Amino acid sequence: MYPDDRWMYPDDRSEFADPGGNSALRAASKDNPRNLSCPNCKAPNRLTRADRALGYQCDSCANRAENGGY
């Protein structure tokens, strides 16, 4: 692992909304509020700016896609 790859391989999961769970969404905070809609289902307040920057969708849409729901 290279030093600049740390964001890909975090030592802990504290940056995630559900550490230890299945969600890849980032934790909401004062500086990173969960105030953006999902790009797929358009449900409001599902993503943070960090989630959007990473190209993520809400957990419901991700679960449907992973389980063949689309």
Residue 15 confidence (pLDDT): 87
Residue 18 confidence (pLDDT): 87
pTM of this structure: 0.75
69 pLDDT exceeds 80? no
C-alpha dihedral (42, 32, 24, 10), degrees to nearest 10: 160
- Domain map (residue ranges) of the chain: 26-70
Q: Is the dihedral of CA 20, 32, 44, 7 positive or negative?
A: negative
Q: For residues 18 and 42, give the distance between their C-alpha atoms in angstroms, rounded to a whole number.
A: 21
The pair phi, psi for residue 48, each rounded to 5°, is -100, 175
Q: For residues 28 and 26, give the distance between their C-alpha atoms in angstroms, rounded to a whole number.
A: 6
Task: Encode pLDDT of 42-66 as tens digits.
Answer: 999 999 999 999 999 999 999 999 8
Task: Encode pLDDT of 2-35 as tens digits.
Answer: 455 555 555 556 788 988 888 999 999 999 999 9
